């Protein structure tokens, strides 16, 4: 059942709630299908959400929706910060689950390439800090992509892992990687900044009646290959996706090494959130990046 406090808040903003049922799939927030007079909506809530979590997600979804071509992004209906006795929540357009069409991967690849080409002149970063899962994600602008990836991405997660006593690999290896970033990431400057989903793993891609849909973003402007690296980290994206993306916007030489550099940040996030076996995987990818 939906918590009474969330039910009352949703009713105050969107009208009478006629029913609710849980939606599986989230690992950070609770998700519900909530029945309103004019149809269902999706509501996620979290009593422990850091301030600004759902507000930043709502603005990120709006940015993706405005730029997306050939992709579905749910409309933001309402959101609220946590109050005494009531968790933070976010209400979105309900996307009816649909089977994946035969050309789903190809359409997704072309759509993500088009998204990455959107408004690329705005520099590295974003208009505000936001979140990757429940962890803060700093987005203050940087003069170069190498600086952004080092100062806004790798170093904060390395500090969290070091403070918790679970830094994967050796300090000397991380120092070597950071020293090599200007050379390793130089091709990003030629590509320029892209509008990124920011957390593009298989669980954040759905099949909707209108085509491939994107949810749960961690939006910022960065190098497009960071999104692609995430698609290859945990699977769920077939070869049709990558072939279609490459046809729409070919990658520069050297992507496999940069892929490892980008995957390191996502793996560090998982080390800091879940620990588990991610430390060994992170250390292995670190060695792969250094061999490159």
User: Is 199 among the catalytic positions?
Assistant: yes
Q: Is residue 130 within 8 Å of 60, Cβ to Cβ?
A: yes
pLDDT digits (tens, 9 = 90+) for 32-56: 999 999 999 999 999 999 999 999 9
What pLDDT, on the 0 to 100 scale, is given for residue 34?
98
What pLDDT, on the 0 to 100 scale, is given for residue 2?
87
Catalytic, out of 62, 103, 199, 227: 199
d(CA 46, CA 85): 12
> Which domains are assigned to the chain?
4-93 (3.30.200.20), 104-291 (3.90.1200.10)
- Residue 235 pLDDT > 90: no
- Residue 292 pLDDT > 80: no
Q: Is residue 231 within 8 Å of 241, Cβ to Cβ?
A: yes
What pLDDT, on the 0 to 100 scale, is given for residue 27?
74
What pLDDT, on the 0 to 100 scale, is given for residue 121?
67
What pLDDT, on the 0 to 100 scale, is given for residue 177?
98
* pTM, 2 dp: 0.95
Instruction: Give the percent of the chain with pLDDT over 90.
Output: 91
Which parts of the chain fold into alpha helices (H)? 4-14, 53-67, 104-116, 145-148, 155-163, 171-184, 187-191, 224-231, 239-248, 255-274, 278-291
- Residue 239 pLDDT > 70: yes
pLDDT digits (tens, 9 = 90+) for 127-176: 999 999 999 999 999 999 999 999 999 999 999 999 999 999 999 999 99
- Residue 118 pLDDT > 90: no
- Mean residue pLDDT of the chain comes to 95
Please compute the mean of the pLDDT values over residues 89-106 and round it to a whole number.
96
- Residue 120 pLDDT > 70: no
Judged by DSSP in three states, 126 sits in coil
């Amino acid at each position: 059942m939906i918590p009474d406090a969330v039910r009352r808040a949703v009713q105050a903003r969107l009208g009478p709630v006629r029913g609710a049922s849980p939606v599986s799939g989230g690992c950070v927030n609770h998700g519900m299908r909530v029945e309103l007079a004019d149809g269902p909506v999706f509501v996620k809530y979290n009593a422990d959400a850091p301030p600004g979590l759902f507000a930043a997600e709502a603005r990120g979804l709006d940015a993706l929706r405005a730029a997306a071509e050939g992709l579905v992004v749910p409309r933001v209906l309402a959101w609220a910060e946590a109050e005494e006795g009531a968790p933070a929540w976010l209400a979105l357009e309900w996307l009816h689950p649909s089977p994946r069409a035969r050309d789903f991967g190809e359409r997704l690849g072309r759509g993500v390439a088009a998204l990455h080409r959107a408004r690329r002149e705005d520099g590295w970063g974003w208009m505000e800090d936001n979140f990757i899962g429940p962890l803060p994600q700093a987005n203050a602008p940087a003069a170069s992509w190498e600086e952004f990836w080092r100062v806004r991405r790798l170093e904060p997660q390395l500090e969290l892992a070091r403070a918790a006593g679970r830094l994967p690999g050796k300090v000397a290896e991380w120092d070597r990687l950071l020293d090599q970033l200007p050379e390793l990431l130089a091709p990003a400057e030629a590509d320029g900044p892209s509008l990124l989903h920011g957390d593009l793993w298989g669980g954040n891609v759905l099949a909707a009646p209108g085509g491939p849909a994107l949810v749960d973003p961690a939006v910022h402007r960065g190098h497009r290959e960071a999104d692609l690296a995430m698609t290859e980290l945990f699977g769920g994206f077939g070869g049709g996706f990558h072939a279609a993306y490459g046809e729409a916007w070919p990658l520069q030489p050297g992507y496999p090494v940069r892929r490892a550099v980008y995957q390191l940040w996502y793996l560090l996030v998982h080390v800091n959130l879940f620990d588990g076996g991610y430390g060994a995987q992170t250390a292995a990818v670190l060695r792969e990046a250094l061999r490159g």
